[in-house]
Amino acid sequence: MRPIEKVAVIGAGNMGSGIAQKSAQEDFEVQMVDREEKWVNRGHEIVSGFLSEAVERRIFKPEKVEQIKSRIRGVVGTGNVDPGTDLVIEAVFEDFGIKTEVFGILDDVCDEHTILASNTSSLSVNDLAMATGRPDRFVGLHFFYHPAKNRLIEIIPAETTSSDSIRAVEQYCKTMGKVVIICKDRPGFVVNRFFVPWLNEACLLLEEGVGTTAQIDAVARSAFRIGMGPFALMNLTGPPIALHSTDYLSEQLGVERFRGAASLRSLVESGEMWEIDEEEDCDDESAEIIRERLLGQVFSVAAQIVEEEVCSMEDVDRGAKVGLRWAMGPFEIANKIGIGEAVEMASSYSDLADLELPTWFKEQDGAFKFSYVDVEVADGVAMVRLNRPEAMNALNVTLVNQLGDCLDNLNSMDEVSTIVLEGSGKAFVAGADVKFFVDKLRADSFGEIYDFTANGHEVLDKLERSEKTTIALTTGLALGGGLELALACDYRIGTKRTQFRFPETGIGIYPGLGGTQRTTRICGIECARYSVLAGNFLDAPTARALGLVTHLVDTSEVDSTILSLLGTKPENKYPGSPSDESSPVVAFASSFYSDPNMDSISSGECPDGFDPNDKAVGRQLKLLSRCAPVALRMASRLLDEAVRTGDDLDEGLSEELEGLEGIFGTEDALEGLSALIEGRKPEYVGK
């Protein structure tokens, strides 16, 4: 597979400029192409506007913005695209003829290896692929607005698309931190298939006089736990887009119910927007009709998506949560309100719309069960994807149990030599599910916290003791429990986007899944203190210097690095010293966090011989001052225990487990964890 490094985007409008911006943010060299220089310039202005907003919100520093903009080169005319471009994304008007004309030019201009992609929300990818001269190197992409902000992307392979092309485009999307849904080429793909008719159904309810725009929006917000109702959303994105999309779905699927409502058509013809007044209250009977109709429509169509194998049930829910920012996906909502009621709603809507409700949905007995661990086995390698991107793959009871079952199965398979763990989206794993801890503490159910953590130790032990080669692809964010999961593996492959952190002492607890024990055994006590006690963010070079990342490579080298490690075990998984003694961070950690200084550090004082006004020293003192005092002391003691227990990792891990009741029994634990989910600064009392 040839990696994607150079990207061109055809069309410098709102969508095209957004794709160019996001690609440049992730270090791709980008050409932004349009027919005339004025449109290219407008694209640059749009990008500059969004990036200026990012500076104001302190997302980027001004110098970072200049670097991003420098990677975007304006090009006038599709025929002037660099022939060596790896991926060209067409983002012009949603018209088959215009798109195929663009691809005809690109076929002539681009080198043989170039992959062509169409950013489309509705057109047939198979038809577009056959209209090009490279159907094996063609794929559909459905970016969601705004491409630089919305994390969802649907990848739609044509029937002719090669596996190498799919993998290359998927890697490009993952590098941009996108949550990827690979789906079948069916009208509306995944999200628009159920979302667009949902908008139209709201218009039909309005026409029937069931409620006003404000009332329908209010009921929809409550029923779906969303921030904006259908009419407000149409005003945001533009009613013409809704009309075009729903008419297209109606035509392609042969569903008259999906045809644009007369009220929507009239609104578009007049060039107006929906009027939404402030009076949202309606009678209970009307509210129930609105609720049942909108929910029934979503349940019915979501069931059809799964029946047609467009994508999985889990991906439907991910699409809703990530792409539309719903609190829950359709199948999760069905579980919440009760399967029986959901089936009744879906059946009523299916009769109304003359749709066939799939038998498996009608006969569903009990709540839907979701899989958060996806496994693919090929050529002796098991790729295990932790697939809970809407929560940044945070470890909860279900995911940990499923991972444990998965590892048991893979460890028993003779044909598997190597197990590779990766996360979906921009994170490897962003820690444990903090809300779980808070809920259990408030319910006085520490036993469930202990059981969850003890089970986590057992799951990580399946990696620790595996006879297979175990690799963690930590090519994104790995926090807390996610970093602990990675440290249980033989190898950790990182890229420049890798970022590690143990945030626990800052939220009132300590790393309880081996973080104090494995970190010390990998990089030594001083560097472990630097990593664990103050909760320092560790960028890729620092993580490599400490030894927490074993292989730091370019994104294009990840696959070859995995191949080089197949069937091998590290000579010394726990060297007890950092990988690069010459690193400035290692040198500082080794001196500042040395044994003689720990009494001063534990007392909140600057150690002798260090200047508190020094930038590096001052930062450590500031970070330590924000930690919960009890958590800091217990974490420090456990790090020392790792030295005392030496080669006996099991004893050290037992010490971690034994301290759980003590740390979770403190006032600071509940305060720190609660403050995190409430988005406020904790106030520790040291008890």
The predicted pLDDT at position 426 comes to 84
> Does the pLDDT at position 686 exceed 90?
no
- In angstroms, the CA 199 to CA 240 distance is 12
Query: Sign of torsion, CA 121 5 176 65?
Result: negative
- In angstroms, the CA 524 to CA 543 distance is 13
> Does the pLDDT at position 93 exceed 90?
no
The predicted pLDDT at position 375 comes to 96
Please identify which of the residues 126, 142, 165, 393 carries the catalytic annotation: 142
* Structural domains of the chain, with CATH: 6-182 (3.40.50.720), 191-362 (1.10.1040.50), 373-678 (3.90.226.10)
Q: Strand pairing of 427-430 and 29-34?
A: unpaired
Each residue's pLDDT tens digit, 564-607: 999 999 999 999 999 999 999 999 999 999 999 999 998 889 99
> Does the pLDDT at position 3 exceed 90?
no
Each residue's pLDDT tens digit, 464-483: 999 999 999 999 899 999 99
> Does the pLDDT at position 237 exceed 90?
no
Mean pLDDT of 181-202: 97
The predicted pLDDT at position 173 comes to 94
Please identify which of the residues 118, 122, 126, 154 carries the catalytic annotation: 154
Indicate if 121 belongs to the active site: yes
The predicted pLDDT at position 625 comes to 95
Please identify which of the residues 126, 165, 192, 245 carries the catalytic annotation: 192
The one-character DSSP state at 488 is: T
> Does the pLDDT at position 336 exceed 90?
yes
The predicted pLDDT at position 278 comes to 87
> Does the pLDDT at position 687 exceed 70?
no
The predicted pLDDT at position 160 comes to 97
pTM of the model: 0.90
C-alpha closest to that of 419 among 408, 429, 430: 408
C-alpha closest to that of 209 among 110, 272, 285, 149: 285
Indicate if 146 belongs to the active site: no
Q: Which amino acid is at 381?
A: V
Secondary structure (3-state) at 141: strand
Q: Taking all residues of the chain, what is their mean pLDDT, rounded to a whole number?
A: 96
Please identify which of the residues 23, 119, 121, 126 carries the catalytic annotation: 121
> Does the pLDDT at position 314 exceed 80?
yes
> Does the pLDDT at position 551 exceed 70?
yes
Mean pLDDT of 394-406: 97
Mean pLDDT of 74-92: 97
The predicted pLDDT at position 652 comes to 97
Give percent of the chain with pLDDT exceeding 90.
Answer: 94
> Does the pLDDT at position 643 exceed 90?
yes
Buried b (16+ CB within 10 A) or exposed e, 296-320: bbbbbbbbbbbeeebbbbbbbbbbb
The predicted pLDDT at position 122 comes to 79
- In angstroms, the CA 484 to CA 403 distance is 14
Half-sphere exposure at residue 422, Cβ-oriented, CA atoms within 13 angstroms: 23
Whether 551 and 492 have beta carbons less than 8 Å apart is answered as: yes
- In angstroms, the CA 617 to CA 609 distance is 11
Mean pLDDT of 278-296: 95
> Does the pLDDT at position 1 exceed 80?
no
Sheet (strand 469-473) strand order = 373-378, 381-386, 418-423, 469-473, 491-494, 551-552
The predicted pLDDT at position 472 comes to 98
Q: Tokens 């069309």 sit at which residue?
A: 11
> Does the pLDDT at position 626 exceed 70?
yes
Indicate if 590 belongs to the active site: no
382 or 687, higher pLDDT: 382
> Does the pLDDT at position 121 exceed 90?
no
